[in-house]
Structure 1
Amino acid sequence: MDREVKEAFIKSKSKDKQESYEAYLYILQATEKRVDWAYEVWDDLLDGLTDKDNHQRSRSAQYLANLAKSDPENRMLTDLPRLWAVTRDEKFVTARHSLQSIWKVGLSGTEQNDRIMEYMVDRFKNGTDEKNYTLIRFDVMQNMRHLYDQLDDEAIKQTAMELIDTVEDDKYKKKYKSVWR
């Protein structure tokens, strides 16, 4: 890991909001591509998923989702339940940011994609008792769309369409379908 990335991880925990935010953006950009240093921060990021600061929980989840493509040991298969737990964080904004980035795990391999899809299908079907469940469902649809766009896998689109067909409220059915236009 180069000096700039190391510094960004340190600055991402800064109490200075601007410095922390700039470091966050830098790390997201740095992790858009495969990196060879993922395991240098992996365990710290796993610990960050339960940090007392909700910003750190959210960022740790987003960084891990981005780093899944840099995981030749397939640690994510073991760690995914911990990452998924943040999508149900007590702070809705933390949960939502985590959920909106978790689709990237599906790009790291067939088994990872299958697991992410299972989690999202279950959440769509069984999450109606959650507060803001219509937003969560929308995010699940958007995640499936991102995966479909990246993987060109018709099974993902078919699954999404089947889930949308289970929605009884026409307003939301239309909203979820809009993701697929």
Structure 2
Amino acid sequence: MNSQIELEFEKSKSKDKDERYEAYQNILEATEQKVDWAYEVWDQLLEDLTHKDNHQRSRAAQYLANLAKSDPERRMLRDFSRVWKVTYDEKFVTARHSLQSIWKVGLAGREQKEMVMKYMVDRFKNCINEKNYTLIRSDIIQNMRNLFDHLHDEKIKQTAITLIETVEDKKYKKKYTAIWK
């Protein structure tokens, strides 16, 4: 790992909010591409998924989702449930930011895509009793759209449309359908 990325990870834990946010943006940008240093931070990020600071939990989940494409050992297949758990965080903003980035795990390969889709389909079907479930469903449908846009897999689109068809509330059915227009 180069010294600049090391510095960004240090800054991401700074007391200074602006410095922390800039580091967060820089790490997300760096991890948009495959990197050769994923395992240098992997275990620490897994630990941070349960950090007392909800911002640390959220960032760790987002970084790991981005790093899935840089995971030739396919550790994400083993560790995904730990990342997914943050999508249920007690702080809704933390849960939501984690959920909104989870689709990126599906870019790492066929098995990862199938795993992410399975988790998202299950959550869509079973989140009705969760607070803000309409936002959760919207994020899941958007995640599927993001995966589809990157992978052009018609099965993803069909799964999303099938899920949308199960929604009884016309307002939300229309909102979710709009994501696919």
Relative to the length of structure 2, the TM-score reads 1.00
Q: Which residue of 1 aligns with 2:85?
A: 85
- Within a 5 Å distance, the mapping from 1:102-121 to structure 2 comes to 102-121=102-121
- Partners of 2:18 and 2:138 lie apart in 1 by 30
2:64 maps to which residue?
Answer: 64
Query: Where does the alignment leave 5 or more consecutive residues of structure 1 unmatched?
Result: none
Is 2:73 aligned against 1:73? yes
Question: How far apart are 1:20 and its partner, in Å?
Answer: 0.6
Post-superposition CA distance 1:154-181 (Å, at most 9, x none): 0000000100010000000000000000
Give the Cα–Cα distance (whole angstroms) in 2 for the partners of residues 24 and 126 of structure 1. Answer: 32
AA aligned to 1:130 is E
Aligned to 1:166: 166
Match of 1:49 in 2: 49
Q: Shift in Å at residue 97 of structure 1?
A: 0.1
Give the whole-Å Cα distance in 2 for the aligned partners of 1:28 and 1:166: 34
AA at the equivalent of 1:67? L
Q: What letter corresponds to residue 52 of structure 1 in structure 2?
A: K
Q: Which amino acid aligns with 1:68?
A: A
The question of 1:3 aligning with 2:22 is answered no
Residue 22 (str. 1) matches residue 22 (str. 2): yes
Q: Give the C-alpha shift of residue 3 in structure 1.
A: 0.5
* Equivalence map 1:95-174=2 (5 Å): 95-174=95-174
Name stretches of at least 5 consecutive residues in structure 2 with no aligned partner.
Answer: none
Alpha-carbon displacement from aligned partner over 1:77-101 (angstroms, at most 9, x marks no partner): 0000000000000000000000000
Shift of 1:26: 0.5
Distance 2:60 2:136 in 1: 20
- Counterpart residue identity of residue 121, structure 2: V
Query: What RMSD over aligned residues (CA atoms) do the two structures have, in Å?
Result: 0.3
Q: 2: CA distance between counterparts of 1:173 and 1:20?
A: 38
Deviation at 1:121, TM superposition (A): 0.2
Q: Alignment identity in percent?
A: 71
Letter in 2 for 1:107: L
For residues 131 and 57 of structure 2, the distance between their equivalents in structure 1, rounded to whole angstroms, comes to 20
State TM-score, norm by structure 1: 1.00
Cα offsets for 1:10-35 (capped at 9, x unmatched): 01001110111111011000100000
CA distance in 2, matches of 1:62, 1:129: 25
> What amino acid does structure 1 have at the position aligned with 2:57?
R
